[in-house]
């Protein structure tokens, strides 16, 4: 079976056609990775660090090429694509240095002449299953720590980002031993073969909650270590005392930037009654100022959604969501998969737009009578990835951070945006397993081994 990747701005522009790896191809890749893992685990940390540092330099040297590929393949606006590639370079350099950090500690032994210590050792083979929306950053923030700590690594990207994944494979493989980093293309059969393969020791997934729950269950049944990042229904809360113009600009971009196709995008805008009308007007003006056209244009901030299917699903959600359209709610008369940035005012926090992720430039606006009710509304969904709070009272904001049921809370900052040096993940159905990124990644891609030496 084969599949293609097309440009969502110009669907007639086909980036490539490839055959799926399928069960046989995935199993073969896992076997090669298991053999390569033994060699890579025995490679000194300094050599692993040097390889990642060289890969970082290669990516920086080819930044314009990768930026153009991201714009073309997934429709990411040029400014964001540049930022994503630059983040990829920084991630590789960060984990190149992390490979040189202490890999264990000594512990007082029962006898004075004994040596008792714990060390972190690689898990062997890590399988990474990644989405299309961050085709450079997400594969690298998984692969870089996996490789830094000595694991062979297999990437199974989303079909819509196949060309970028193959370009990353070629770039990384030039600095690594054979089969230490591989890419397998395919859909569910390919992914399930990797999860079920006896040579795979860890699975890291980013994508939908439906798929993530299936992957987590399959991996847990095998006793695999697994982490799954599964999206969100993120709220931006606007309270009295906030800088409303600044907040409106941030919320508009967090909800609509890159056509809302981020797991950290703002889906719900919860505004205190006291400032609701003023903020609504500022938000509408900020959204109207966002450029939606060709993502290769330096001034574009929104761009197309990934496919016609995604656009149709978003329009269906808006049509069935109830409430009153503040802006948007229709496709654009352009060749690509364009949707006007859309905000729907809801009379109450109920229905699909208030409870489910749409993954498009669509957000619900909800009135709250108080900060306490705003928190209750924000918490009253099955997801818990990130919440933003806009307020001038930082003491109050600090108290709210303890009550909000999300893995990340950002005060006077947009929901979108990731600090790759800090743990990333959510609560409730947004995440399963340990956190990603920062030094938390070492705990996932390695396991502790206690060693006692008796003379």
Pick the CATH number of 2-230+430-453 from 3.40.605.10, 3.40.50.12780, 3.40.1360.10, 3.30.470.160: 3.40.605.10
Helix segments in 42-62, DSSP class H:
45-61
- 2-230+430-453 and 234-411 have identical folds: no
Question: Radius of gyration over alpha carbons of the chain, in Å?
Answer: 23
Domain map of the chain by residue range? 2-230+430-453, 234-411
Lookup: tokens for 293: 């056209």
- At residue 230, the pLDDT reads 95
Q: Strand, helix or coil at 39?
A: helix
The CATH code belonging to domain 234-411 is: 3.40.309.10
Q: Give the end-to-end CA distance of the chain in Å, rounded to a whole number.
A: 60
Catalytic residues, by residue number, are: 229, 263
Sequence-ordered strand ranges (E) for 233-361: 234-238, 266-272, 324-327, 342-346
Per-residue pLDDT tens over the stretch 67-100: 999 999 999 999 999 999 999 999 999 999 999 9
Write out the DSSP string of 17-35.
Answer: EEE--HHHHHHHHHHHHHH
Q: How much of the chain is helix, strand and coil, in % rounded to 5? A: 40, 25, 35
pLDDT digits (tens, 9 = 90+) for 337-369: 999 999 999 999 999 999 999 999 999 999 999
What value, to the nearest 5°, has the Cα angle with vertex 56 and ends 50 and 59?
Answer: 145
For residue 319, the tally of other CB atoms under 10 A from its CB is 9
Pick from 174, 206, 165, 185: nearest CA to 66: 165
C-alpha pair distances (Å), 238 with each of 115, 270, 274, 286, 413: 56, 6, 10, 15, 11
Other beta carbons less than 10 A from residue 329's beta carbon: 18
By the 8 A CB rule, do 358 and 267 touch?
A: yes
pLDDT the model gives residue 99: 98
Distance CA 262, CA 255 (A): 9
pLDDT in tens, the chain (455 residues): 788 999 999 999 999 999 999 999 999 999 999 999 999 999 999 999 999 999 999 999 999 999 999 999 999 999 999 999 999 999 999 999 999 999 999 999 999 999 999 999 999 999 999 999 999 999 999 999 999 999 999 999 999 999 999 999 999 999 999 999 999 999 999 999 999 999 999 999 999 999 999 999 999 999 999 999 998 999 999 999 999 999 999 999 999 999 999 999 999 999 999 999 999 999 999 999 998 989 999 999 999 999 999 999 999 999 998 999 999 999 998 899 999 999 999 999 999 999 999 999 999 999 999 999 999 999 999 999 999 999 999 999 999 999 999 999 999 999 998 899 999 999 999 999 999 999 999 999 999 999 999 99
Q: What is the pLDDT of residue 257?
A: 98
Q: What is the pLDDT of residue 231?
A: 87
**pLDDT score recorded for residue 451:** 97
* Three-class secondary structure assignment of 57-82: HHHHHCHHHHHHHHHHHHCCCHHHHH
The confidence score (pLDDT) of residue 72 equals 98
pLDDT digits 0-9 by tens, 313-323: 999 999 998 99
Cα angle 388, 392, 395; round to 5: 85
């Amino acid at each position: 079976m084969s599949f293609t990747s097309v440009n969502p701005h110009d669907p007639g522009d086909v980036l490539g056609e490839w055959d799926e790896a399928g069960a046989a191809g995935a199993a073969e890749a896992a076997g090669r990775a298991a053999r390569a893992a033994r060699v890579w685990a025995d490679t000194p940390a300094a050599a692993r660090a040097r390889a990642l540092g060289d890969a970082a330099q290669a990516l920086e040297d080819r930044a314009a090429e990768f930026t153009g590929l991201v714009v073309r393949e997934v429709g990411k606006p040029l400014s964001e694509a540049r930022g994503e590639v630059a983040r990829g370079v920084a991630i590789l350099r960060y984990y190149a240095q992390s490979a040189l950090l202490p890999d264990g500690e000594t512990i007082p032994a029962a006898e004075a002449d004994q040596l008792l210590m714990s060390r972190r050792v690689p898990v062997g083979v890590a399988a990474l299953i990644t989405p299309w929306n961050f085709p450079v950053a997400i594969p690298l923030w998984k692969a870089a720590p996996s490789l830094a700590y000595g694991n062979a690594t297999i990437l199974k990207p989303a079909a819509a980002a196949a060309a970028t994944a193959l370009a990353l494979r070629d770039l990384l493989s030039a600095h690594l031993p054979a089969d230490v980093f591989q890419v397998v293309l395919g859909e569910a059969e390919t992914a399930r073969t990797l999860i079920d393969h006896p040579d795979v020791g860890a699975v890291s997934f980013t994508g939908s909650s439906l798929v993530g729950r299936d992957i987590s269950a399959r991996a847990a049944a095998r006793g695999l270590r697994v982490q799954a990042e599964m999206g969100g229904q993120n709220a931006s809360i606007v309270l009295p005392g906030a800088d409303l113009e600044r907040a409106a600009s941030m919320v508009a971009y967090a909800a609509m930037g890159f056509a809302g196709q981020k797991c950290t995008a703002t889906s719900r805008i919860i505004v205190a009654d006291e400032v609701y009308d003023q903020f609504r007007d500022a938000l509408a003006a900020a959204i109207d100022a966002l450029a939606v056209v060709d993502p290769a244009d330096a001034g574009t901030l929104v761009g197309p959604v990934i496919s016609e299917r995604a656009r149709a699903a978003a329009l269906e959600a808006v049509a069935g969501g109830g409430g009153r359209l503040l802006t948007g709610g229709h496709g654009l008369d352009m060749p690509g998969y364009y949707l006007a940035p859309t905000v729907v005012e809801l009379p109450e926090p109920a229905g699909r737009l208030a409870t489910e992720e749409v993954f498009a430039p669509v957000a619900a606006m909800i009135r709250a009578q108080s900060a306490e009710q705003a928190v209750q509304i924000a918490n009253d969904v099955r997801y818990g990835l990130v919440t933003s709070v806009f307020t001038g009272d930082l003491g109050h904001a600090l108290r709210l951070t303890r009550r909000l049921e999300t893995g990340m809370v950002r005060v006077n900052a947009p929901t979108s945006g990731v600090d790759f040096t800090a743990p990333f993940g959510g609560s409730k159905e947004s995440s399963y397993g340990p956190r990603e990124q920062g030094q938390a990644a070492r705990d996932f891609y390695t396991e502790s081994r206690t060693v006692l030496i008796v003379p």
